[in-house]
Amino acid sequence: MRPIKQLENRFTRCPLALAMLCLSAPVAAEHVMPELMISADAQASVFSVSPARALTELQKTPGGVTVVDAQDYLTGRAGTMEDTLKLAPGVFIASRFGSDEARISIRGSGLQRTFHGRGLLLLQDGVPINLADGGFDMQAIEPQATRYIEVERGANALRFGGSTLGGAINYISETGRSAPALSLRAEAGSFDYQRYNLSVGAAKGALDGFASLNFQEQDGFRDHANQRNTRFVGNVGVQLSPQLENRTYVTVVDTDSELPGNLTYAALKANPRQAEAGSLNRDAKRDFQLYRLANRTALTHADGGVTEFTAFAAKKMLFHPLSFARLVQNSRDGGIGLRHTQPTQWLGAQQEHTVGVNWRRGLTVDEQCSYVITPAGPGGTPPAVSAPAGTHPCATLTKSNKLTAHNLEAYAQTRWSLTPKTDLTLGGQWTDAQRKVAPGDVPAPPRYDQDYQRFSPKLGVLHHLTAEIDLYANLSGSFEPPSFSETFNNLPLKAQRAMTTEVGARGHVQVANAKLGWDASVYRAKIRNELLALDVGNNRSATINAGETLHQGIELGLSARANAWRAQASYLYNDFRFVRDASVGNNRIAGVPDHVLNAEAAVKLPGDVWFGPTLQSASRAWVDHSNTLAAPGYSVFGLKLNQSLSNGVAWFVEGRNLGDKRYANTTGVIFDANGADAAQFSPGDGRAVYVGVSKAY
């Protein structure tokens, strides 16, 4: 039995009712953490700053940036990336069947992928989660081991060397200096959802450590949608001297996900809980194990400069039966990074300079085998599949490739204070990437060895209109070589490149006894060779290079807080279209609604109980680039009730889609539906209620 399975079995013997009894009260919305006392000989950790300080640093950027405090999303169910990021300005995220896997996109990056994301740099504590070819897995992230999340949209992610259209999302872990000594949390609810988390943290002198073990399982709203995840996340830090700190991170993930497939819209309206027949008959699923080790070392110099070295290694094993074949992949990825930040004071002004280099390499052994082909029935029609799911043998190894990805990224950025109120930022990134496909055990040409190189510049201006209000503008380039999952039939694709302009404002004002805040950006990206993923049937996808496309839109975040009430909203306007395309003219690019709104509000009841509504709303979303088939718009409402007590106990009750609306939360993407209904719709979950309790010691 795998070691993590042994932990999982021990962790799940106590049912939810007993877990609640063990916690002696309800769990976590916003738990109140006991204050940690750090000894005088231990300096504050470079890798463990508060969310407020992280936001202050981020807002030196002349562009759209956000910090999501984990204490905000822990007031309700906190099981997926959608739960954590749905209120983050500029982020579009929609789960495909209530699971970890989702369509996640910023400014239209990788917007047609509903699994194994791309177009974003996903990091954990500043170290890439992405495989070397650019793809990433949502299941690699544990929301309940996270202290806060940094979102840097577009080229605002240059401080990590990111050059994608979408930017970067950085999950910052709890450490032994920030976490409670012991924290227990349990969640349960509709569709047999259950989730348990145990975490510990400790600090003594120069040493600290944090560890989190999480188990989650759900039967799912739909048939054949069971998901089971076990994650261990931990880190150990040591301050070798007042100037030198090292931290090591360990992640182990074991995840099994059944795949229910997409439905026609007629089938969705008739019975949204059903699974697509091909996925059910072939027992389609996406299971993998991930082992990841990362390390960060930071040296703080006497003049205020900081030199940071990072390294990581990851091993992933994927088992992925689909309706057309069974895929097996074994991946090994690793990388190193070096970054130096230096403050200076020249010509009577202050500056900050950053230079860095990242190198990553990945090798994936990719194998595909076909199923036994069942003979056709009378009249040439295929017979009904009667064998139980999972019994279809793999008949022949039809594909075996060795996929190698290399990336070398060198970047630099300098920020000058031109006046006490105005900063100028100049920067750029050079990418040298290689994608190589070589024969494995089954030679099946074509093969390729493709190199991608490009420089992406950045120019930005930040003006402090007042102490509370910033205005900004920037012009930046982006560059994205294709991932291996986008090279259908082993044909190389061109790299996607773009130039983006952005203007915006952020700030807060005090009105009576309420603090009102906003974060607003308007952007326009002219893209060449956009990587567009298409569903080509039978659960298969292909990616093409479009010619010229245009992405423009509005990213708006609003918040209001007072003693007795609070509210938060995130609005997106997405105008993504082709430009004079020979086939579809200036049509909208399929895969994302034009308008998206997520909001929640709450009032304080007696006993510091918070109660209020939630809203998730989206307009029509095209399914095909020919703009003949669309998912209708929808609005779903919920309610949330939570309380946080001074003794570290917290609890919540959350209702979602209380009107039990039948709607498509996301869709596949095809080129032309010819106006006919197609099996491309992924139903949103029906009416659901979740409860949770936590205790922090």
What's the pLDDT at 48?
78
pLDDT confidence of 681, banded at 50, 70, 90? very high
Please check whether residue 11 lies inside any domain of the structure. Answer: yes
Please check whether residue 386 lies inside any domain of the structure. Answer: no
Give dist(CA 320, CA 384) in Å, integer: 23
326-348: b (≥16 Cβ within 10 Å) or e: bbbbebebbbebebbbbeeeeee
pLDDT at residue 380 is higher than 60: no
Please check whether residue 650 lies inside any domain of the structure. Answer: yes
Please check whether residue 387 lies inside any domain of the structure. Answer: no
pLDDT confidence of 635, banded at 50, 70, 90? very high
Q: What's the whole-number average pLDDT of the chain?
A: 88
pLDDT at residue 215 is higher than 50: yes
Q: Which residue has the higher pLDDT, 687 or 646?
A: 687
496-528: b (≥16 Cβ within 10 Å) or e: bbbbbebbbebbeeeeeeeebebbbbbbebebe
Give dist(CA 687, CA 697) in Å, integer: 34
Give dist(CA 328, CA 369) in Å, integer: 9
* 3 state DSSP class of 21: helix
pTM, two decimals, is 0.90
- Specify whether the backbone of 98 is left (phi greater than 0), alpha (psi in -120 to 50) or beta: left
pLDDT at residue 19 is higher than 80: no
Please check whether residue 383 lies inside any domain of the structure. Answer: no
Give dist(CA 297, CA 245) in Å, integer: 6
Q: How many structural domains are present in the chain?
A: 1
Closest CA to 172 of 151, 196, 201, 197: 151
Q: 256-284: per-residue pLDDT in tens?
A: 999 999 999 999 999 999 999 988 888 99
pLDDT at residue 305 is higher than 70: yes
Using an 8 Å Cβ cutoff, are 19 and 687 in contact?
A: no
> Cis before residue 446, ω within 30 degrees of 0?
yes
The one-letter code for the residue type at 343 is P
Q: What is the DSSP letter of 447?
A: -
Give dist(CA 679, CA 264) in Å, integer: 4
What's the pLDDT at 580?
95
Using an 8 Å Cβ cutoff, are 120 and 106 in contact?
A: yes
Give the C-alpha distances (Å, rounded to integers) separating 152 from 66, 74, 118, 170, 258: 7, 22, 15, 8, 32
Please check whether residue 110 lies inside any domain of the structure. Answer: yes
Q: Which residue has the higher pLDDT, 192 or 4?
A: 192
Please check whether residue 91 lies inside any domain of the structure. Answer: yes
pLDDT at residue 25 is higher than 70: no
Give dist(CA 374, CA 392) in Å, integer: 10
What's the pLDDT at 477?
96
pLDDT at residue 522 is higher than 80: yes
DSSP 559-590: EEE-SSEEEEEEEEEEEEEESSBTTTBTPBPS
Q: What is the mean pLDDT of residues 547-570?
A: 97
What's the pLDDT at 113?
78
Strands 193-204 and 182-189: antiparallel
Residue 27's DSSP bridge partners are none
Pick from 282-291, 459-468, 539-548, 673-682: least confident? 539-548
pLDDT at residue 374 is higher than 70: no
What's the pLDDT at 8?
43
Give the C-alpha distances (Å, rounded to integers) separating 616 from 86, 424, 446: 9, 38, 46
Task: Write the CATH number for 74.
Answer: 2.40.170.20
What's the pLDDT at 524?
98
What domain range includes position 673? 3-378+393-696
Give dist(CA 488, CA 611) in Å, integer: 49
Please check whether residue 433 lies inside any domain of the structure. Answer: yes
Q: What is the mean pLDDT of residues 591-618?
A: 97
Residue with tokens 């994650």: 231
